Amino acid sequence: MDKKAVILLSGGLDSATVLALARSQGYECYALAVSYGQRHVAELAAAQRVADALGAARLQTMHVNLDAVGGSALTDRNIAVPETEAAAGGIPVTYVPARNTLFLSLALGWAEVLGAQDLFIGVNAVDYSGYPDCRPEFIRAFEALAQVATKAGVEGRGFRVHAPLLTMTKADIIREGVRLDVDYALTVSCYQADEQGRACGRCDSCRLRRAGFADAGVADPTPYR
Amino acid sequence: MDKKAVILLSGGLDSATVLALARSQGYECYALAVSYGQRHVAELAAAQRVADALGAARLQTMHVNLDAVGGSALTDRNIAVPETEAAAGGIPVTYVPARNTLFLSLALGWAEVLGAQDLFIGVNAVDYSGYPDCRPEFIRAFEALAQVATKAGVEGRGFRVHAPLLTMTKADIIREGVRLDVDYALTVSCYQADEQGRACGRCDSCRLRRAGFADAGVADPTPYR
According to the model, what pLDDT value does residue A1 have? 54
Asked if A154 reaches chain B (Cβ–Cβ under 8 Å), the answer is yes
Gap from A214 CA to chain B (nearest CA, Å): 31
Other Cβ atoms within 10 Å of B140 Cβ, number? 15
According to the model, what pLDDT value does residue B141 have? 97
Helix/strand/coil (H/E/C) assignment for every residue in chain A:
CCEEEEEECCCCHHHHHHHHHHHHCCEEEEEEEEECCCCCCHHHHHHHHHHHHCCCCEEEEEEECHHHCCCCCCCCCCCCCCCCCCCCCCCCCCCCCCHHHHHHHHHHHHHHHHCCCEEECCCCCCCCCCCHHHCHHHHHHHHHHHHHHCHHHHCCCCCEEECCCCCCCHHHHHHHHHHCCCCHHHCCCCCCCCCCCCECCCCHHHHHHHHHHHHHCCCCCCCEC
Q: Is the pLDDT of residue B168 over 60?
A: yes
B118 compared with A76, residue with greater pLDDT: B118
According to the model, what pLDDT value does residue B137 have? 95
- Tell me the mean pLDDT in the region B148-153: 92
d(CA B147, CA A132): 9
B146 compared with A70, residue with greater pLDDT: B146
Asked if B196 reaches chain A (Cβ–Cβ under 8 Å), the answer is no
Inter-chain contact B142–A149, Cβ cutoff 8 Å?
yes
Nearest CA in chain A to B129: A151
B43 compared with B109, residue with greater pLDDT: B109
Q: Residue A16: CB partners within 8 Å, gap ≥ 6?
A: A9, A50, A54, A177, A182, A184, A186, A187
Give residue limits of the domains in chain B. 3-216
Nearest CA in chain B to A134: B149
* Fold that domain B3-216 belongs to in CATH: Rossmann fold (3.40.50)
Interface of A with B in 53-72 (CB under 8 A): 60-66, 68-71
Q: Is the pLDDT of residue A65 over 80?
A: yes
Q: Which residues of A are annotated as a binding site for Zn(2+)?
A: 190, 200, 203, 206
Q: Is the pLDDT of residue B87 over 50?
A: no
d(CA B24, CA B193): 29
According to the model, what pLDDT value does residue B88 have? 47
According to the model, what pLDDT value does residue A87 have? 46
8 Å CB contact between B30 and B62: no
Listed range (A7-11, A42-46, B40-44) with the worst mean pLDDT: B40-44
Residue A65 burial (C-beta neighbours within 10 Å; 0-12, 13-18, 19+): middle
Asked if B185 reaches chain A (Cβ–Cβ under 8 Å), the answer is no
What is the ipTM metric for this complex? 0.91
According to the model, what pLDDT value does residue A88 have? 47
Q: How does pLDDT run across A157-193, given as a tens digit for each residue?
A: 899 999 999 999 999 999 999 999 999 999 999 888 8
Give φ, ψ of A63 to 5 degrees: -115, 130
Q: Is the pLDDT of residue B190 over 70?
A: yes
- Tell me the mean pLDDT in the region B40-54: 90
Q: How does pLDDT run across A92-147, given as a tens digit for each residue?
A: 777 888 999 999 999 999 999 999 999 999 999 886 667 899 999 999 999 999 99
Average pLDDT, chain A: 90
Strand partners for B5: B29, B118
**Coil vs helix vs strand at B60:** strand
